[in-house]
Amino acid sequence: MFIDKASYVEYNPEYLFAVGKLRVHERKLINKAAFTRLIECSGFQEMVSILSERNYSDNIYSVEKPEDLENLIFDEMSNTIGEIKKLSHDDEVTNLYLFRYDMQNLKLLIKAGKNSEEVNRSLLYRSVIDTDSLEDSIKEEIFYVFPDSLRDRIKTIWLEEVQQGNLQEAEILLDKLWLETGYRYMKEKEQIFLRDLFSILIDLYNLKVILRTKVMNYDSERVYQYIAEGGFIDKSVMSNSCSMELEGMVKFFQSSNYNEIIKSGVEYFEKYNSFRKFEQLCSNFLVEFVDIVKFLVASASSLIRYSVIKEIELKNLRAVLIGKNNGLSSEQISQNLGYVYV
């Protein structure tokens, strides 16, 4: 992998308490044995009992029926975000990363508004921006709640894409905006690990955009507008793959660090018409990267590292819930899980 471990070492004594607290949380993440029990459990109450043994005990009291478990997942991530904000001594750094969840809220509110649907407020993350203020901002179309680094571009995306009904394009461009803004900020502030984390996120986003837009038959010029800058793979190199067939794209990136993600992801897509394997491998790659600094940093990077791990745990939990609701076998559900951290 394209890393220099020595460059990632960060030590700030203010974060020693935070690091210790997060290590305790990590020991209570859902491990392989617990996921096996969840997959094989016979009913809803048994699943609730297993989760109560992990980090979910504070919120499990609200779960009375299977549908509540989806709300629990959002609540759990919101609580993780809240703890990260509380433990941070570098609000600008952590908030910029956490804006990814505000972007998710924004996309959900936009989609609901354009489809004249009622928003399920339990599926909005409690992140940096108060959700009521965010909703008011959208209704008034002034976006005053966003920081200067994002506000003008969000307004442009709203006018050029959302108002024209191009919701899918708007979602792509909002993701691109957050990633490029985060990369530039971390680079400017010499946050080396977080700069590289954003570079990886940008590469994975670009690969996802190229693969998905191939399926939707977007022209290369249009896809080029969606490709973000700041990844380890140059934007021009990414752009060269836009006009290739899927097999050609696999060969094109076979010497990159993402070879296995692309190769296996494309093979799975061609067989099952699903990007599930690609998404799974992206999550695995991220966990492997952030785990590099487990014992190297005592800083805001420690908090963001934990949020990455927690989010992937929740993706796995959601995969278990969906699999059981759809009557999949234990083996099928296990195959749908990404990297299990502990």
Q: Read off the pLDDT of residues 33-59 as tens digits, 9 standing for 90 and up.
A: 989 999 998 877 888 888 888 877 667
Residue 319 to residue 337: CA distance in whole angstroms: 7
DSSP letters of 212-250?
HHHHTT--HHHHHHHPPS-SSS-HHHHHHTTTS-HHHHH
Q: Is residue 23 part of a domain?
A: yes
**DSSP label at residue 297:** E
* Token representation of residue 189: 């502030």
pLDDT at 257: 92
pLDDT at 62: 74
Q: Is residue 303 part of a domain?
A: yes
Domain count, the chain: 1
Cβ neighbours for 22, distance < 8 A, ≥ 6 positions apart? 87, 302, 303, 306
CA distances from 3 to 6, 181, 213, 295 (A): 9, 22, 30, 15
Residue 206 to residue 7: CA distance in whole angstroms: 25
Q: Is residue 167 part of a domain?
A: yes
User: Quick one: pLDDT band at residue 123, thresholds 50, 70, 90?
Assistant: confident
Statement: the pTM of the whole predicted model exceeds 0.85: yes
Q: Is residue 33 part of a domain?
A: yes
pLDDT at 1: 58
Cβ neighbours for 295, distance < 8 A, ≥ 6 positions apart? none
8 A C-beta contact, residue 275 and residue 265? yes
CA 186 to chain centre: 18
pLDDT at 342: 66
Is the pLDDT assigned to residue 68 strictly greater than 90?
Answer: no
pLDDT at 115: 79
Is the pLDDT assigned to residue 112 strictly greater than 90?
Answer: no
Q: Is residue 341 part of a domain?
A: no
Cβ neighbours for 203, distance < 8 A, ≥ 6 positions apart? 231, 232, 233, 258
Is the pLDDT assigned to residue 118 strictly greater than 90?
Answer: no
Q: Is residue 250 part of a domain?
A: no
- The counts of H helices and E strands in the chain are 17, 2
Domain extent at residue 198: 8-245+294-334
Q: Is residue 277 part of a domain?
A: no
**Among 15, 22, 28, residue whose Cα is nearest residue 89:** 15
* Token representation of residue 339: 């990297």
- One-letter amino acid at 96 equals L
Q: Is residue 128 part of a domain?
A: yes
3-7, 91-95, 127-131, 271-275: range with lowest mean pLDDT: 3-7
**Among 71, 164, 46, 125, residue whose Cα is nearest residue 307:** 125
- Bridge partners, residue 11, by sequence: 298
